Amino acid sequence: MIIGIDVGGTHADGVLLDGDTLVAKHKVSVAQQHLSDVIITLLQHLVPGDRSTLQRIHLSSTLCTNAIVTGALDPVGMLLQAGPGMNPDFFAKSCPTWFLDGAIDHRGQILRDPDPGKIDAAALAMRREGINSIGIVTKFSHRNNRHEQQVAAQLVGRFAHVSLGHRISGLPNFPRRVYSTWLNAALASQFSLFKNALEEGLAHLGITCPCHVLKADGGTIPFSRACEFPCESVHSGPSASVMGCLALAAQTDDAILLDIGGTTTDIALLVDGAPLLEPYGVNVAGRPTLIRALKTTSIGLGGDSRVAWHNGTFRIGPERQGTSMAEGGTAPTPTDAMVVLGKLAVGSQQQAAMAMLALCPKESPEYTATLLLESFVEHIRLAVEAMIEEVFARPVYTVAALLHRRRIQPKRIVAIGGPAAALQSFLGQALFLPCTVPANYEVANAIGAARARLTVQASLYADTGDGRLSIPELSCLETISSRYSMPDAEKRLKGAVSMMVAEMGMKSCPEIDFLERLEMNVVRGFATSGKILTLKAQIRPGLTTI
């Protein structure tokens, strides 16, 4: 059996699953200072009498969000090697930053080593400022991690925590790598406190099974790995919701997933039944990162959004002003419209009607309510359309890819959240699609957390001309022969991913997808001098098979 826990902003849900059967569920309200207490409380209610039947615990928590909001992040110092390019001064706005000299080029060739004297001077300055957690990032470290390793080796033992850029992600994009590394370093002590508190609680409950953390990409990683890469635990709420939708209403076609809440509606897209990912990563604390994440869009539109009638149209949200008038609030809300139409049974029918009259005194409440909900779903329709267009417009670099781009064509809507059922028919009509509102959707996030499986990704860059291969996620830098080929690369990367999976304690490795295969002849003079091979491998987000 698996326990899934989703800690949200105001309450936390937990479920106990036996296969895909919901055995128990529990909800508690949340005091964010004591995240581990909340989780332990839920576990007390959910953990089966026979502890040995519990296989794993999957956690989706707001640890990172809380740390950012409450300012509990560690002070971080960044050591950056920016090489030639854009002026890197802007990084200093994020946190104290020291720039190193030396450079690595776009092919991963070392142009000049950094000056060790400068590194020492930066380290001293950081110690003086009381910094104990540092990040080291060089431009193109995904192609060659040697400088990051050199700097780390020189500073070994001098700081409590060191994060290296290439270990966080094998993708390009230096600023994102810098900010991901910063975030990882900034979360180090918070995560370790959380881990200690949680482990203590688990021991107290006699729970010995492995504990996994949900990531933004809809997958999980073991707690031990999350300690090394705490940044991976960010933004797990939306991914819990998406995975929950998948668990409750699996799809095989393109589909739209909606999580309609009190203040916001989160939109996600499925392509052939699989959730769509961000091309690089999620934004955290105003910074773009390389933390792999499901593509979700959040719009300020929910059941409790404040509604105003303005110039012949409804202005819905993005702010809310307490609850609906039906429930004693002071401003009309979409929830009031749902109550008026008899689609939702909360609060006072009469107050809800008053809310509609407050909006349009001359119309019948039913008429206004219908118009309001039509306008509500129209906002969702426009946001979905914009999202589909944005995905279609993602840059492609080959003629074949440009000519064969496919626009997402949703065949169904899956909606969860409080107002979902009340909006079902409106959504279906506005988007001309069948709309499903699955049962048990109130614990979708916890179910999503429980059913999510391990995800791993790794990338390979091989340059046969230089005889060098890099798999940044493993800090791997090896020599290869001039005859190294794409099948060799696939085998190597498959081995790397299988190893990562085994290290994370999983007995069997799910199917590995290869992505973005690119094989390019390097021609110098008029002869081929080698090949550049790039390849990515992933275990895509999915549900544990039962």
Partner 1 sequence: MSSFMPHALHKTALILFPAFDWCISPNHPEREERLLYTRDQLIEEGLEDVENILFFNPELATFHDINRVHLSVPSAEKLLTESHLISAGGTLRAARAVMEKEAEKAFAIVRPPGHHAMQTVFGDRGFCVINIEAIMVEYIRRHYGVRKIAIVDTDCHHGDGTQDIFYNDPDTLFISLHQDGRTLYPGSGFLHESGGPAAEGYTINLPLPPNTCDEGFDMVMERVVMPILDEFEPELIINSAGQDNHYTDPITNMNFTAQGYARLNRLLNPDICVLEGGYSIEGALPYTNLGIILAMAGMDFSQVREPDYDPSRFTQPPEMTKYIEALCSKALGVFAGRGSRRAEAQQRRIVTNQKNIFYDTTGFHVQERTSYHLCPKCPGYSEIKATGHNRHIHAYTVPFNACRGCQGEAKDMFQKGKPESGTIIALQDRIEDIYETK
Choose which of 49, 71, 84, 206 interacts with partner 1 (CB under 8 A): 84
Return the range that interacts with partner 1 (CB under 8 A); candidates 29-37, 235-243, 378-386, 396-404: 396-404
Q: Which is nearer to partner 1, 107 or 536 (CB)?
A: 107
Please answer whether residues 343 and 349 qualify as being in contact, where contact means their C-beta atoms are separated by less than 8 angstroms. no
| DSSP track, 214-229 | E-TTS-EEEHHHHHH-
397: tokens are: 């670099």
Q: Which is nearer to partner 1, 497 or 535 (CB)?
A: 535
Please answer whether residues 73 and 158 qualify as being in contact, where contact means their C-beta atoms are separated by less than 8 angstroms. no
Using rule CB under 8 A, residue 393 touches partner 1: yes
Least separation in angstroms between CB 62 and partner 1: 21
Site track 526-545 with partner 1 (rule: CB under 8 A), x = hit: xxx---x-------------
Return the range that interacts with partner 1 (CB under 8 A); candidates 170-178, 263-271, 306-314, 362-370: 170-178
Q: Which is nearer to partner 1, 255 or 387 (CB)?
A: 387
Using rule CB under 8 A, residue 113 touches partner 1: no
Return the range that interacts with partner 1 (CB under 8 A); candidates 19-27, 45-53, 398-406, 430-438: 398-406
Using rule CB under 8 A, residue 283 touches partner 1: yes
Site track 16-55 with partner 1 (rule: CB under 8 A), x = hit: ----------------------------------------
Q: Which is nearer to partner 1, 166 or 225 (CB)?
A: 166
Backbone angles phi, psi at 322, to 5 degrees: 70, -145
233: left (phi over 0), alpha (psi -120 to 50) or beta: alpha
Cβ neighbors of 389 (< 8 A, separation 6 or more) are none
Q: Which is nearer to partner 1, 25 or 139 (CB)?
A: 139
Exposed/middle/buried for residue 402 (C-beta within 10 Å: 0-12, 13-18, 19+): exposed
Choose which of 179, 314, 376, 484 interacts with partner 1 (CB under 8 A): 179
- List the interface residues with partner 1, window 120-149 (CB under 8 A): 139-140
Please answer whether residues 104 and 143 qualify as being in contact, where contact means their C-beta atoms are separated by less than 8 angstroms. yes
- List the interface residues with partner 1, window 341-380 (CB under 8 A): none
Using rule CB under 8 A, residue 515 touches partner 1: no
Q: Which is nearer to partner 1, 72 or 522 (CB)?
A: 522
Return the range that interacts with partner 1 (CB under 8 A); candidates 122-130, 172-180, 335-343, 382-390: 172-180
- Contacts of 96-105 with CB under 8 Å at 24 or more apart are 96/126, 96/129, 96/131, 98/122, 98/125, 98/126, 100/138, 100/147, 100/151, 102/147, 103/139, 104/138, 104/139, 104/140, 104/141, 104/143, 104/144, 104/146, 104/147, 105/140
Return the range that interacts with partner 1 (CB under 8 A); candidates 52-60, 247-255, 264-272, 280-288: 280-288
Dihedral angle sign, alpha carbons of residues 93, 95, 96, 100? negative
Q: Tell me the one-letter amino acid at 101.
A: D
CA 149 → CA 20, 78, 114, 195, 366, distances in Å?
45, 14, 12, 27, 67
Q: Which is nearer to partner 1, 52 or 87 (CB)?
A: 87
Using rule CB under 8 A, residue 75 touches partner 1: no
Return the range that interacts with partner 1 (CB under 8 A); candidates 77-85, 195-203, 259-267, 312-320: 77-85
Q: Is 113 helix (H, G, I), strand (E, B) or coil?
A: coil
Instruction: Measure CA of the first residue to CA of the last residue in the chain; give whole Å.
Output: 11
Least separation in angstroms between CB 184 and partner 1: 16
Q: Which is nearer to partner 1, 4 or 530 (CB)?
A: 530
Return the range that interacts with partner 1 (CB under 8 A); candidates 66-74, 213-221, 281-289, 292-300: 281-289
CA 533 → CA 169, 174, 489, distances in Å?
18, 21, 8
Q: Is 313 helix (H, G, I), strand (E, B) or coil?
A: strand
Least separation in angstroms between CB 452 and partner 1: 28
Pairwise CA distance, residues 107 & 463, whole Å: 8
Using rule CB under 8 A, residue 103 touches partner 1: yes
Using rule CB under 8 A, residue 82 touches partner 1: yes
Count of residues of this chain found to bind partner 1 when the rule CB under 8 A is applied: 46
Using rule CB under 8 A, residue 69 touches partner 1: no
Q: Which is nearer to partner 1, 124 or 518 (CB)?
A: 518
Cβ neighbors of 121 (< 8 A, separation 6 or more) are none
412: tokens are: 């169904």
CA 531 → CA 106, 267, 401, 514, 521, distances in Å?
15, 41, 21, 19, 5
Cβ neighbors of 18 (< 8 A, separation 6 or more) are 1
In this structure, the number of other CB atoms found within 10 A of the CB of residue 247 comes to: 22
Using rule CB under 8 A, residue 521 touches partner 1: yes
Per-residue DSSP letter, 454: B
Find the helix or strand (DSSP H, E) in which 68 lies: helix 63-70
Q: Which is nearer to partner 1, 31 or 400 (CB)?
A: 400
170: tokens are: 């094998």
Choose which of 20, 37, 105, 442 interacts with partner 1 (CB under 8 A): 105
Pairwise CA distance, residues 336 & 334, whole Å: 5
Using rule CB under 8 A, residue 467 touches partner 1: no
Choose which of 345, 386, 396, 502 interacts with partner 1 (CB under 8 A): 396
Choose which of 21, 52, 87, 311 interacts with partner 1 (CB under 8 A): 87
Return the range that interacts with partner 1 (CB under 8 A); candidates 168-176, 241-249, 322-330, 487-495: 168-176
Interaction site with partner 1 (CB under 8 A): 82, 84-88, 90, 93-94, 103, 105-107, 111, 139-140, 172-176, 179, 280, 283, 286-288, 393, 395-400, 402-403, 405, 518, 520-523, 526-528, 532
